[in-house]
A = this chain, B = another copy of it.
Amino acid sequence: MRIGELSARTGASVRSLRYYEEQGLLTAERDSAGRRRYAEAAVARVALIRRGFAASLSSRVIADLLPLLDAECVPRTRALLVAEQDRLEAQIAAMTQARVRLSEVIAIVTDPTWECDA
């Protein structure tokens, strides 16, 4: 299929599909006119890529991941994902801490001695 159809079938914009290819996430044959031709499997591939993005993986990590998935290499795939999980966990922790600090700020400004003109 061509890029428009793949886009329609996956929900990824045409722009994004080209970007995925640029990042080495998706390969395509070219027809005589230079247009991308995708195999049926591309639909599942794009779904997988998008699943990765939805799980906050970067294109770089997905690029590392896909060959491992294709090789059905569980241990390394798993190691990569767990590392990402740690990164995500750290980010969540950072934001959670920011939330605490924000609560502190709110507590400070809610000091009852304060007043307001408006």
Residues on A facing B (Cβ under 8 Å): 51-52, 54-57, 69, 71-78, 81-82, 84-85, 88-89, 91-92, 95-96, 98-99, 101-106, 109-111, 114-118
Q: A74-B114, A76-B118 are in contact. Are A81 and B106 (CB under 8 A)?
A: yes
Least Cβ–Cβ distance between A83 and chain B, in angstroms: 11
Contact present for A101 and B71 (CB under 8 Å): no
User: In whole angstroms, what is the CA distance A55 to B113 when docked?
Assistant: 23
User: In whole angstroms, what is the CA distance A55 to B94 when docked?
Assistant: 10
Contact present for A55 and B101 (CB under 8 Å): yes
Number of copies: 2
User: In whole angstroms, what is the CA distance A117 to B67 when docked?
Assistant: 12
Chain B residue numbers with a CB within 8 Å of A55 are: 98-99, 101-102, 104-105
Contact present for B115 and A74 (CB under 8 Å): yes
Chain B residue numbers with a CB within 8 Å of A56 are: 95, 98-99, 102
